[in-house]
Amino acid sequence: MELELHSLNAMRSMEVIDILTGTKIGFIKDFKIDCDENKIVALILPGEIKSWFAKEDEKEILWSDIVKIGTDVILVKAKDKEKVNANNV
């Protein structure tokens, strides 16, 4: 099996889709990285902007919930609201 490599910059242009609902969740805004373990822990996606002055909530998707990284989409398995939750990261 050939190893697939993706740059972080290329991953930011991929749309994230929940395979259980078919919902388009959005595009990656940032990554949460565990520097002690040298690995990506989660994807950070922008949330909905509530008003001009309010800080937007961000969605966090755990790396373990990623099913497949394709050429132009990232498929995730977000079982419930706890998996794709709003965080102030």
Structural domain boundaries in the chain: 18-87
pLDDT higher than 60, residue 42:
yes
* pLDDT above 70 coverage of the chain, percent: 76
* More reliable by pLDDT, 55 or 13: 13
pLDDT higher than 50, residue 5:
yes
Q: DSSP letters along 28-84, please?
A: --EEEEETTTTEEEEEEEE----SSSSPPPEEEEEGGGEEEE-SSEEEE---STTTS
Write down the pTM of the prediction: 0.76
* More reliable by pLDDT, 13 or 47: 13
CATH of domain 18-87: 2.30.30
